[in-house]
Structure 1
């Protein structure tokens, strides 16, 4: 089972088993701020030792309970700064909440994805959690990159991305937010595409490992990343 039952989280899942991704290497989830003491204990028992936070500094509420003392947090924001033309354009177009913006981010700001991959490659021994706010788009794009490196096929990568809509629906319902899959489907349809087609076009752009190497990851870091992530 890839789904992880960590008290306080509804969207934690292991990427292991997709392509050559090793179980226990990468867990994707929503922001872990609601994890209880038991939830953090479960994450620690699972082997998690590093949290890669893809949000901006001070984004979102604080944790409800302290994290384990031996767990390292690395902040690697995946959204460009709010005063950039990119952010202003896409925040108006889709609020950076659909896969429409993924190809543009990879073209204009590939270094942010590479920085996250570097943080994973250089993390201390143990499992790594990657998260943003809901674990959908910033986490989704990084997951696309990691799973493409792991040789997962497009259909299983897309299915994993779509799973977040289902998993996070109770949280969005609680906040009074309309169904996000419906909302995003409408956004991408207005631009003549579908969620699945938009994701597939992004995956096509992620030629691996060339994307990482051409955008700043060195061979030593690539070797470390592969050693951490892959079963073979």
Structure 2
């Protein structure tokens, strides 16, 4: 599932990422995620050579690309293809899941978006489990991306955070950090979409509101009687991978020392 495809066509518009963030500091399993090892973003194939070079110098060593094979074929790896970065294409959709493209076909409520997310997780659970194992064995920092860095990346990140021991509230809060960036994301993708049309209700496909992901959790529990981890374990995720992920990505557990007088230090 890995590849070393060529760079994108020279006429592709390149611009810096607008939905890039580090997952460092998120509480998980009684500890916190280490800074500088896990990042998520919008389409990395469309970023500039300067930004790629900067991120590589800061330790970027692995890319997990969640776009469809069609999207990846169309744009290649972009400038990142000229750098020594391990690349893994793990499609979480058969076709483009660019939110603006999808919104042109349908308008969904948060509940419907959550059902879509749940279906994606169930359909691609083996792919996601493989992706988690890839991260556990990766060298250097890992970047996970799709087109907008919202839907496919949001579902994958929810799975990763679950494996690291983050609770639902933390996972939902992290997902919602994308919402303020939606206008910039859509503009970067070359889509002119009005997010506030008074004649129409808000299309949840164009948002990253907490209700979207909360709906996914509810569907998994109510309709399938399972949690994210339960689904991933059934798809092949093992304790060994979870342990390696936590060992690699979480800050060391705090230790309590006592001096000879019994005072905690």
**TM-score by structure 1 length?**
0.75
Unmatched 5+ stretches in structure 2: 1-14, 96-104, 253-265
From the superposition, tell whether residues 119 and 101 of structure 1 become closer, same or farther in structure 2 (CA, over 3 Å).
same
Cα distance in structure 2, aligned partners of 1:194 and 1:66: 34
Contact 2:62 2:143 in 1 (8 A): yes
How many residues in Structure 1 have an aligned counterpart in Structure 2? 208
Match of 2:195 among 179, 193, 196: 179
Q: CA RMSD in A?
A: 3.1
What does residue 233 of structure 2 align with?
A: 213
Match of 2:118 among 79, 103, 118: 103
Q: After the TM superposition, which of the residue ranges 167-176 and 56-65 deviates more from structure 2?
A: 56-65
What does residue 227 of structure 1 align with?
A: 247
Residues 114-142 of structure 1 show CA distances to partners (whole Å, capped at 9, x for unaligned) of 1221221232x201000111100110001
What does residue 8 of structure 2 align with?
A: none
Q: After TM superposition, give the deviation of residue 73 of structure 1 in Å.
A: 0.6
- The SS at the match of 1:28 is strand
Larger radius of gyration: 2
Contact 1:21 1:147 in 2 (8 A): no
Cα distance in structure 2, aligned partners of 1:178 and 1:69: 37
Residues 136-170 of structure 1 show CA distances to partners (whole Å, capped at 9, x for unaligned) of 01100011111122232323321221221222312
Unmatched 5+ stretches in structure 1: 1-6, 83-90, 188-192
Match of 2:43 among 5, 19, 31: 31
What does residue 9 of structure 1 align with?
A: 17
From the superposition, tell whether residues 32 and 107 of structure 1 become closer, same or farther in structure 2 (CA, over 3 Å).
closer
- The SS at the match of 1:38 is helix
What does residue 3 of structure 1 align with?
A: none
Contact 2:22 2:36 in 1 (8 A): yes
1:142 aligns with 2:156: yes
1:201 aligns with 2:218: yes
Contact 1:52 1:75 in 2 (8 A): yes
Q: After the TM superposition, which of the residue ranges 166-175 and 193-202 deviates more from structure 2?
A: 193-202
What does residue 255 of structure 2 align with?
A: none
What does residue 179 of structure 2 align with?
A: 165
Contact 2:44 2:78 in 1 (8 A): no
Q: After TM superposition, give the deviation of residue 26 of structure 1 in Å.
A: 1.2
**TM-score by structure 2 length?**
0.67
Runs (4+) of structure 1 exceeding 6 A deviation are: none
